[in-house]
Amino acid sequence: MRVTQTEFPGLKLIEPTIYKDQRGYFFESYNYERMRDAGIDMIFTQDNQSRSQYGVIRGLHFQKKPFAQTKLIRVLQGKIYDVALDLRQKSPCFGKWYGLELSDENQYQLLIPKGFAHGFSVLSDYAVVFYKCDETYKPGSEDGILYSDPDLNIDWKIPPNLEIISVKDQGLKRFKESVLDFKYTDPI
């Protein structure tokens, strides 16, 4: 397993060691001791999975304090464009987003720490996305940022006429209208 720190403090790309032979492949998708040794020391308390068709954009979602979540994202089937938006005031990347493709081919995982909003678009016919959270879902704590906020200018890699977005996600606030209490000095 190789863990790479992105230019966004705390946001990490995880590339598993994949063993392939004539039967297929094998890899450890999660190993607490290896993660801890790589500086990722947390207990995950909830696993989530979604299946979405091409053109679906989910996000940008986060939970407010004190129930903020760190997420470990991976794709079981298909391909997505995964996006993390830094909400931590005084962060060198505050208000900026990071995006990359996660797929069942590259098997990359993205560790998104507390203080980030998360979203993704589906680039394949469908995608099954699996993620671990270090805090359980609390309905009263959920929040989000509008996926199409022109100030963020996120390229979701989906033509506008093919985007599929929930009514809830279409009604989220723009970044500059959001009340954010995450600080860069928060533990990541």
Contact 9, 187 (CB under 8 A): no
Residues 61, 98, 108, 118: which is the catalytic one?
Answer: 61
54: which 2 tokens?
A: 């091409």
- Tokens 């006429």 -> residue: 161
Q: Is 81 noted as a catalytic residue in this protein? A: no
Catalytic residue among 98, 108, 131, 147: 131
Q: Which two tokens stand for residue 107?
A: 């098997």
In the structure encoding, which two tokens stand for residue 95, read together? 């208000």
- Is 19 part of the annotated catalytic residue set? no
Catalytic residue list: 61, 131
